[in-house]
Structure 1
Amino acid sequence: MRIASLLPATTEIVGALGRADDLVAVTFECDHPPGLTAPVVVRSALAEGMTPSEIDRTVRERAAAGLPLYDLDRDALRDAAPDVVLTQDLCQVCALPGRTVTGALDELGLADVAVHSFDPHTLDEVLTGVDALAAAVGADATALLDDLRRRLAAVERAVAGEPAPRALVLEWTDPPFLPGHWVPELVRRAGATPTAGVDGGRSTTVAWADLEPPEVVVVTPCGYDLDAAVAQAGPVVERFPGVPVIAVDSAAYVVRAGPRLVDGIEALAHALHPDVVPAPPAGRVARVA
């Protein structure tokens, strides 16, 4: 089966199912599994090197003007000749919207290509979504899901009975955004209590002055790796003197709705409860203050 994955999370899932060799098209953000050779057919319309505040302003301006945040290479998608296209309609900021994909397929004479939309809002929906995606590409997710659920249960046992500090989780720092979708649940599963956020909903902006004092701050800037998260945590440390601040590789382990969400839970659980949860591999989480 020839698979076009237009979402980093679905590319990760396809790889975890052992079907990476079937990928014939991916996005500029698809970096897992390593060694992908499929052509890139989706690129960002945003310039590289922008600051968080510049990105926020540009996203708002483009949205107000009705301009897209992603460019789809229609010719490359047609040449890829996919049997199935994996897309999403969960977030127009995070990835190419599914309606853009279906419209492009119609224009290219590919209306008969199967389209599978991956739109989880909670961790349970991520897991059930993995199973549904596996069925869409003719794979079996049983072993993968059994392993993920076993690891989640191990973290739950480890942090049971431990103090659950009140955690301010920031999905963006300039301006500050509170988490939505599955992120508050990830923090609870790691053994903390989010001070704010919307389970299953969208992340929301907030004024610094309206934030209640936390016992720990978790900085997970959407789409950024650990080094960038550490850098963006610097000003946050200044706002909360004396409060522990933890940075997480959000791009890989927090906002991407794939199997590595469980890696993120394990990493954050160790940062919060190092005496009861084993240390993760380097590069996932860091104590900043």
Structure 2
Amino acid sequence: MYDGRRVVSLLPSATEILFAIGAGDDVVGVTFECDEPAHARTVARVVSNSALPEGLSPSQIDAFVAARMAAGEDIYHLDRAALAGLDATLVVTQDLCAVCAVDVSEVHDALDFLQCKAQVLTTDPHTLEEVWASIEAIGAATGRSAAAERLASSLRGRVGAVRSSVAGMGTPRCAILEWTDPAFSPGHWVPEMIETAGGLSVLGDAGEKSRRLSWDEVAGSRPDVVVVAPCGFGLAESARLASEVVAAGVLPPDVPVWAVDANASFARPGPRLADGVEALARILHPSLGSPDPAMARPARA
């Protein structure tokens, strides 16, 4: 009889962390968005879904989310029927963003309803160091402390190496757009990523939430570089939205505009944030060489 841990991950970043530290075989439940590694949704049961209709434009998504939040309605739902029978011993969730995953209160309600005594590990990182610490916390909760500590140490080393490599190279003004219609500033760890990569975040502050912006505010921030990193979008979709923003003429003329894989390396608090820092350093400091084309591409050089 299997007597190991049975983990339900309600965050794509947590799923990525669990597999990265060798706890993938313990994962029995994931969300519909858990796509790293790609096979996560085939080896574990999908236990949450979204109320967000498919095919909406960024402005329609913003309106839908705003209406749901104003009505006190959740964006994500925990499927109690799918959760039942998994005999989970650990549920990893978040209390960071109401529009990013199942609300932690719904998790507790569902576990109570199912009379499940699983431990609930809630992560709430706002900075890069808190992201690395969350990896260690997940490792401790799954009996993978050594692997988690090695991973967190390597990520600290990588971002530290980036910081050292850009020292003395100047501080270009960088505007990252976390959404494009309407425009939103970057939040939480993303401004810190800019600073670590040797830039100055001109729209958002490290550790703070993102906020809605006017295009006059974006232009008035006098960016040297604009990076389009819409939450929930991969590189292809980000590139399309960046091209639309350029075509709309709402950005300062002649400023380079880049699109990045926001899902992989900016929006999710997981190991690949280090990839994002490395890509940003090359975007902000071209003398370092071009960023990985699988992670970033120019919309306007």
Do both share a fold (TM > 0.5)?
A: yes
What is the alpha-carbon distance in structure 2 between the residues aligned to residue 207 and residue 26 of structure 1? 37
CA contact (8 A) 2:89 2:119 kept: yes
Identical counterparts, % of pairs: 47
Residue range with higher mean Cα deviation, 219-228 or 133-142? 133-142
What is the alpha-carbon distance in structure 1 between the residues aligned to residue 84 and residue 57 of structure 2? 34
Residue range with higher mean Cα deviation, 84-93 or 278-287? 278-287
Q: CA deviation at 1:166?
A: 0.7
Query: Pick from 81, 86, 91: which aligns with 1:85?
Result: 91
Residue range with higher mean Cα deviation, 17-26 or 59-68? 59-68
Aligned to 2:25: 21
What is the alpha-carbon distance in structure 1 between the residues aligned to residue 153 and residue 205 of structure 2? 28
Q: CA deviation at 1:280?
A: 4.8
1:116 matched to 2:121? The reply is yes
CA contact (8 A) 1:6 1:87 kept: yes
Aligned positions of 1:121-270 closer than 5 A: 121-140=126-145, 141-211=148-218, 212=220, 213-237=222-246, 238-240=249-251, 241-270=253-282
Which amino acid in structure 1 is aligned with residue 48 of structure 2? V
What is the alpha-carbon distance in structure 1 between the residues aligned to residue 217 and residue 159 of structure 2? 33
Aligned to 1:48: 54
1:175-234 CA distance string (max 9 Å, x none)? 000011101001111121111213212100011112322111011100100011111112
Aligned to 1:286: 297
What is the alpha-carbon distance in structure 1 between the residues aligned to residue 290 and residue 83 of structure 2? 42
Q: CA deviation at 1:282?
A: 3.3
What is the alpha-carbon distance in structure 2 between the residues aligned to residue 144 and residue 168 of structure 1? 30
CA contact (8 A) 1:122 1:200 kept: yes
TM-score (norm 2): 0.92
TM-score (norm 1): 0.96
Q: 1:168 and 1:280, CA in 2 relative to 1: closer, same or farther beyond 3 A?
A: closer
Which amino acid in structure 1 is aligned with residue 141 of structure 2? A
What is the alpha-carbon distance in structure 2 between the residues aligned to residue 20 and residue 267 of structure 1? 27
What is the alpha-carbon distance in structure 2 between the residues aligned to residue 62 and residue 145 of structure 1? 36
What is the alpha-carbon distance in structure 2 between the residues aligned to residue 283 and residue 80 of structure 1? 36
What is the alpha-carbon distance in structure 2 between the residues aligned to residue 274 and residue 14 of structure 1? 34
CA contact (8 A) 1:25 1:40 kept: yes
CA contact (8 A) 1:177 1:205 kept: yes
What is the alpha-carbon distance in structure 1 between the residues aligned to residue 285 and residue 213 of structure 2? 28
Which amino acid in structure 2 is aligned with residue 103 of structure 1? D
CA contact (8 A) 1:225 1:250 kept: yes
What is the alpha-carbon distance in structure 1 between the residues aligned to residue 107 and residue 205 of structure 2? 28
CA contact (8 A) 1:167 1:216 kept: yes
What is the alpha-carbon distance in structure 1 between the residues aligned to residue 185 and residue 153 of structure 2? 31
What is the alpha-carbon distance in structure 2 between the residues aligned to residue 11 and residue 54 of structure 1? 29
Residue range with higher mean Cα deviation, 93-102 or 149-158? 149-158
CA contact (8 A) 2:184 2:213 kept: yes
Structure 1 unaligned regions, length at least 5: none
Q: CA deviation at 1:15?
A: 1.1
